[in-house]
Chains A and B, each alone.
Chain A
Amino acid sequence: MSVAVALPVLIPFIFGSLSLVFFNSHAVQRWLGVIGTGLLFLATIVLLHKTWTDGIQVMAMGSWPAPFGIVLVADMTSAIMTLMAGMMGFALAVYSLPSISRDHEAFGYYPLMHLLLAGVSGAFLTGDIFNLYVWVEVLLVASFALLILGGERGQMEGAIKYVTLNLFSSIMLLVGVGLTYGLTGTLNMADLAVKLPEVEQQGLVTVVGMLFLVSFSIKAAAFPLFFWLPASYHTPPVAVTALFAALLTKVGVYALYRFFTLMFGNDVGYTHELLLWIGGFTMVTGVLGAAAYYEIRRILAFHIVSQIGYMIVGLALFTPMALAGGVIYIVHNIVAKTNLFLVGGVIYMMRGSYDLKQIGGLWKTRPLLGVLFLLPAMALAGIPPLSGFLGKYVIIRAGVEVESWGIVAVSLGVGLLTLYSMVKIWAEAFWKAQPEEHAARAERFEQALSQKSMAIMLLPIIALGVLAAVIGLAAQPVYEMALVAGHQLLDSTDYIEAVLGVTP
């Protein structure tokens, strides 16, 4: 029994409710946003530390013992993911201070942000599949509302696709949960890990597994189910997009990791072969889509899709090293991709446009911003010694070890194309001179941006940029941690013992 597991869910709920109490006082809401996410960040650090030193942490809700009650479980993967949620929540709360407009605050941006974080932490920590569905709905409802804050035409059109497809995938998840209960009579993940292999007709288990695969692939934006993402992610304010990019698709990826290691490992030859193909195609289509665009947010949105492919490949290769690589890649991607969106937001604040053809000349006036863009951009492309290199290296090394040459070649090729997209943004926004016809607007935006807002926005950007470098440079401890996570995912004995209290 460990209260630390429940704190990452409780803290955002408490602060979200408090923000609602002070709905009309935006200054208080801003403070609550920073303090609440700061506390969440601390709580997740404590949780990771406890999980690292004392092993898997379990808390039975209402003291109902598993498998009858709902349990919150933190193994290394969950703890690392929750830490990332806390860290991104904090970074984005700080970044939101100057970048979110007063209108958005008036419509409840901060309460929704807390609710989203609570849903994400809950989804990462729960040990019950129906409870997972509930958390997914919590974070979806918060994300729906965040997506349409402001109510512009593009947001509405994007939101309809986003809402429809995500609801569809939630229903698939619910159907899968119902069928799983019909097959086994339990909803507890650890109990399912014991009972699913005992089901007589293993074919049915695979069918239910496919339902979960489709559902979480939609949420993770995997090929060929990702079309809602590039249609909607570039419409809301950039702090919202960054929050979505950091956490929402990762919930889908995390669920895939959890389900297809712990529970649906009965037919690895079929499911993980399928996952390997999905991963490969996701990488390629995402990166090709990004190459076609000249709008910063659209390029980055397509790169979310492409990077999801690497994570799925980490799961599909199904060795401790590959899973560790996948976990490192998720961490790296959350740090680097969020940071890129944040830099994109600053570029918008200085030039008034996300269109690369209308902006330029940033290197001359803001060399610091150029460096801060290069850090996550090169990390994303996998240039050593930054974080992306470590993630790609471990996954590709795992691919070489199981002699899956095709996916190794695809991964390397996609890395090169990622570099192309990043260099495109670099060359267009930073090196090229500012186009004359849009110079007036750039001038106006540049003047409207105060030194203070700029400094506050640069804080999280600098912190995340440094972190990307630190992950790459301190590769050994990061890799060791991820390897423990990988071993725990692949060998569920510890997980089952921690939750059910019996050795399988």
Chain B
Amino acid sequence: MEPVMAVVVGALFAASVYMMLRRSIVKLVIGLILLSNAANLLIFTVSGLTRGAPPLIPEGLEVPPDAWADPLPQALILTAIVIGFGVLAFAVVLIHRAYEVVGEDDMDQMRSTDT
């Protein structure tokens, strides 16, 4: 399973970078969304994929009897998803507002503050 996931994560990263390099600010945000999902999947994959083994300890034992799925990466991903959601919501509002103020959705027209 891991090699497949690795390819998926790589493809997501590639797609997101491609989207971010486009000139349209909408595509920029789509790129950011893909990027944050790629990172979440990557954490999920690198910490090892285990099927159907909840990290529960039966009564009378100190440690789980068999191999178990590590719950920590899932907690990390959950936190990262929530943070990513908040930040991306901000980014969507920002591009909407920028479009209203500038009147363009083209990154190349947004150069007045550049160096």
Q: Distance (Å) between the CB of B88 and the closest chain A CB?
A: 8
Q: How far is the CA of A201 from the CA of B111 in the complex (A)?
A: 45
- Whether B94 contacts A157 by the Cβ 8 Å rule is no
Q: Give Cα distance in the complex from A141 to B84, angstroms.
A: 11
Specify which chain A residues have a CB less than 8 angstroms from the CB of B110 in the assembled complex.
156-157, 160
B86-108 to A contact mask, C-beta < 8 Å, 1/0: 11001100110110011000010
Report the minimum CB–CB distance from B104 to chain A (whole Å): 10
Interface string of A431-465 (1 = CB under 8 A from B): 00000000000000000000000000000000000
A55 touches B (CB below 8 Å)? no
Which of A56-64, A164-172, A350-358, A493-501 sits within the interface?
A: A164-172
Q: B91, A178: Cβ atoms under 8 Å?
A: no
Complex interface: stretch among A72-80, A104-112, A147-155, A476-484: A147-155
Q: Mark A31-63, 1 if CB is under 8 A from B, else 0.
A: 000000000000000000000000000000000
CB of B43 closer than 8 Å to a CB of A: yes
Taken residue by residue from 68 to 97, chain B's Cβ proximity to chain A (1 for < 8 Å, 0 otherwise) reads as: 000011001001100100110011001101
Contact for B91 among A158, A167, A232, CB less than 8 A: A167
Interface of B is mostly: helix
Residues of B within 8 A of A171 (CB): 35-36, 38-39
Look across to chain A and name the residue whose beta carbon is closest to the beta carbon of B70: A185
By the criterion of a CB under 8 Å from any partner CB, how many residues of chain A are at the interface?
A: 41
Q: In this complex, what residue of A is CB-closest to B32?
A: A167
Are the CB atoms of A130 and B90 closer together than 8 Å? no
Judge whether B102 and A164 touch: CB under 8 Å: no
Q: Are B97 and A168 in contact (CB under 8 A)?
A: no
Q: Are B46 and A235 in contact (CB under 8 A)?
A: no
**Which residues 123-144 in A have Cβ within 8 Å of B in the complex?**
130, 133-134, 137, 140-141, 144
CB distance from A179 to the nearest CB of B (A): 6
Give the Cβ gap from B90 to chain A, nearest Cβ, in Å.
6
B111:A157 contact, CB within 8 angstroms: yes
Partner of B94, one of A137, A148, A174, A181: A148
Expressed in whole angstroms, the Cα–Cα distance for A204 and B91 within the complex equals 33
Selected contact of B113 from candidates A157, A164, A187, CB within 8 Å: A157
Contact B76 A156 (CB under 8 A): no
Provide the residues of chain A in CB contact with B36, threshold 8 Å. 167, 171
Tell me whether chain A's interface is mostly helix, strand or loop, or mixed.
Answer: helix
Complex Cα–Cα for A134 and B112 (A):
32
Q: Across the interface, do B47 and A232 meet the contact criterion of CB distance under 8 Å?
A: no
Residues of B within 8 A of A187 (CB): 72
B114 at the interface (CB under 8 A from A): yes
Contact B94 A159 (CB under 8 A): yes
Contact, CB under 8 Å: A157 / B98:
yes
Q: Do the beta carbons of A141 and B90 come within 8 Å of each other?
A: yes
Q: In the assembly, what is the distance between CA of A174 and CA of B40, in Å?
A: 8
**Neighbour of B43 across the interface among A159, A178, A232, CB < 8 A:** A178
B77, chain A: closest CB distance, angstroms: 9
B residues bordering A, Cβ < 8 Å?
Answer: 20, 25, 28, 32, 35-36, 38-39, 42-43, 46-48, 72-73, 76, 79-80, 83, 86-87, 90-91, 94-95, 97-98, 101-102, 107, 110-115
A to B CB contacts below 8 Å, 8 in the list: A137-B87, A144-B94, A152-B101, A160-B25, A160-B95, A160-B98, A167-B35, A177-B76
Q: A148-B94, A171-B36 are in contact. List 14 more A-B contacts (CB 8 A).
A: A134-B83, A140-B87, A141-B86, A141-B90, A157-B98, A157-B111, A159-B94, A160-B110, A167-B36, A174-B39, A175-B43, A178-B39, A227-B115, A235-B113
